[in-house]
């Protein structure tokens, strides 16, 4: 099968087109013919070797943890899905190697959900990792509830734009943090105010909500966001375990987990028109290096996706 992978850690020049054996299917596994693969910052971080201390790597390493495609084969213990079903999956396993920049990927059935019917394969491929991250951070870790206020950093990016929509849908009041160029975009997603990423974010939030917000969602590791949180509030980070201890603010850290049931719920929200995936650009699989270049530049609005097969 065709895949894009690396034989050693390094720069974008290490990405090459490979002809690899098809992945095996576990008894409880699902083999997916990948139509589109979402691109996430973790893809180039793992290409650089930054995940090496945490996960075993099997070379050649094929990056990519997001897939949308069609079930090709199921293991003998799988009853939930059958060949031909259109699915999505967040494909992070206990090792790094057999990723989704490939024509076929195998994952445990528990990672897989039905593709939203109203989404293209490309839109659907942009959903799993970012939507599960936002969902688990806001509702599982920070316990956000209706009527609360939440500050979302990097609100125009993949995770942030999903978090804004999910929080608004849950009845929370959202303040986004973004560059001036993305202000209108974040307002259109449902935030009631946007503060400029280049200013003093906590001071700007305190002008809007003097007592501080209930929850801050820290996407890039800016602990000054904790200053925008009320006493007794929560700050959840996906950058690193926060050390925020100066006040009565509860810190937590999320590393997104595969979860097919949660993904099914997120796909339903998509089909109900309550969650949208905006695509910045769809590139052919062969242009994975260009996709990494765009992601590494740090100005992605919505999602980058690779078209893998027809």
Ligand X SMILES: NC(=O)c1ccc[n+]([C@@H]2O[C@H](COP(=O)([O-])OP(=O)(O)OC[C@H]3O[C@@H](n4cnc5c(N)ncnc54)[C@H](OP(=O)(O)O)[C@@H]3O)[C@@H](O)[C@H]2O)c1
Question: Residues with Cβ < 8 Å from 243, sequence gap 6 or more?
Answer: 223, 251
Q: Lay out the site mask for ligand X across 210-249 (x = CB under 6 A, - = otherwise).
A: ---------xx-----------------x-----------
Min dist CB 39 to ligand X, Å, is 9
In the range 163-182, which residues lie near ligand X by CB under 6 A? 178-179, 182
What distance in Å separates the CA atoms of residue 65 and residue 257, rounded to the nearest whole number?
11
Min dist CB 31 to ligand X, Å, is 25
| Residue 189 found at the interface with ligand X (CB under 6 A) | no
- Running DSSP on this structure, what letter comes out for residue 52? T
**Options 29, 38, 63, 158; binder of ligand X; rule CB under 6 A:** 158
Three-state secondary structure call for residue 127: coil
Min dist CB 276 to ligand X, Å, is 15
| Residue 254 found at the interface with ligand X (CB under 6 A) | yes
Min dist CB 309 to ligand X, Å, is 24
Number of residues that bind ligand X (CB under 6 A): 28
| Residue closer to ligand X (CB basis): 78 or 277 | 277
Min dist CB 161 to ligand X, Å, is 8
Q: Which residue has the tokens 């008894």?
A: 27
The stretch near ligand X (CB under 6 A) out of 6-14, 95-103, 157-165, 258-266 is: 157-165
Region of residue 237 (phi > 0: left; psi between -120 and 50: alpha; otherwise: beta): beta
| Residue closer to ligand X (CB basis): 74 or 213 | 213
**Options 12, 41, 190, 279; binder of ligand X; rule CB under 6 A:** 41
What distance in Å separates the CA atoms of residue 208 and residue 176, rounded to the nearest whole number?
12
What distance in Å separates the CA atoms of residue 72 and residue 82, rounded to the nearest whole number?
8
What distance in Å separates the CA atoms of residue 267 and residue 115, rounded to the nearest whole number?
7
Tally Cβ neighbours within 10 Å of residue 76.
10
Tally Cβ neighbours within 10 Å of residue 281.
17
| Residue 157 found at the interface with ligand X (CB under 6 A) | yes
What would the two tokens of residue 6 be? 């690396």
Helix axes 128-135, 158-169, angle to 10 degrees: 50
Residues found near ligand X in the complex (CB under 6 A)? 40-42, 129-130, 133, 153-154, 156-160, 178-179, 182, 197, 219-220, 238, 254-256, 295, 298-301
């Amino acid at each position: 099968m065709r895949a894009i992978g690396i034989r050693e850690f390094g720069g974008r020049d290490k990405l090459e087109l490979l002809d690899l054996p098809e992945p095996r299917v576990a008894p409880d596994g699902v083999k997916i013919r990948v139509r589109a693969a979402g691109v996430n910052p973790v893809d180039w971080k793992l290409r650089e070797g930054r995940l090496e201390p945490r996960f075993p790597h099997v070379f050649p390493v094929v990056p990519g943890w997001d897939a949308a495609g069609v079930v090709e084969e199921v293991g003998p213990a799988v009853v939930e899905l059958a060949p031909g079903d259109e699915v999505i999956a967040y494909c992070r396993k206990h090792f790094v190697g057999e990723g989704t920049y490939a024509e076929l990927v195998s994952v445990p059935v528990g990672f897989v959900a039905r593709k939203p019917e109203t989404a293209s394969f490309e839109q659907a491929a942009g959903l799993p990792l970012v939507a599960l991250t936002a969902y688990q951070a806001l509702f599982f870790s920070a316990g956000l509830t209706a009527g609360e206020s939440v500050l979302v950093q990097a609100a125009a990016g993949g995770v942030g734009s999903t978090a804004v929509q999910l929080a608004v849908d849950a009845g929370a009041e959202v303040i986004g943090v973004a560059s001036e160029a993305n202000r209108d975009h974040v307002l259109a997603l449902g935030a009631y105010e946007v503060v400029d990423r280049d200013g003093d974010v906590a001071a700007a939030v305190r002008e809007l909500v003097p007592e501080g917000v209930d929850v801050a969602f820290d996407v890039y590791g800016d602990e000054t966001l904790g200053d925008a949180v009320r006493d007794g509030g929560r700050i959840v980070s996906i950058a690193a375990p926060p050390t925020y201890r100066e006040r009565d603010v509860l810190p937590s850290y999320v590393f997104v987990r595969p979860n097919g049931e949660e993904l099914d719920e997120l796909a339903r929200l998509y089909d109900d028109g309550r969650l949208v995936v905006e695509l910045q650009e769809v590139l052919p699989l062969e242009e994975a290096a260009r996709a990494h270049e765009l992601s590494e530049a740090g100005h992605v609005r919505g999602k980058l996706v690779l078209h893998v097969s027809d």
